[in-house]
Amino acid sequence: MDDKPRRKFHPVYLLLLIPYVALLWVPFYNQIEPRLFGIPFFYWFQMSWIVGGVACLYPVYRHEERNK
């Protein structure tokens, strides 16, 4: 790496890996039950990660804006 002004790696960045693990491990959510308002698990689980993804991103955003 040739980028000299390197900040030390901060563990908050690990949060960004969570949505990838949750959504790319398909067998975990590839099922119909439990349903939510009649919607199969496969669909509402993935949709709930829209909010989950933002929740994982927000602390990283706060961290970066603080260090600027």
**Distance between CA atoms of residues 61 and 32, nearest Å:** 35
Smallest gap from residue 12 Cβ to another protein (A): 12
Nearest to 67 by CA among 16, 8, 1, 3: 8
C-beta closer to another protein: residue 1 or 8? 1
- Near another protein by CB under 8 A: residue from 12, 61, 63, 66: 61
Helical axes 41-66 vs 17-24, angle rounded to 10°? 170
Which residues bind to another protein, rule: CB under 8 A?
1-5, 16, 19-20, 23-27, 30-32, 35, 37-40, 42-43, 46-47, 49-51, 53-54, 56-58, 60-61, 64-65
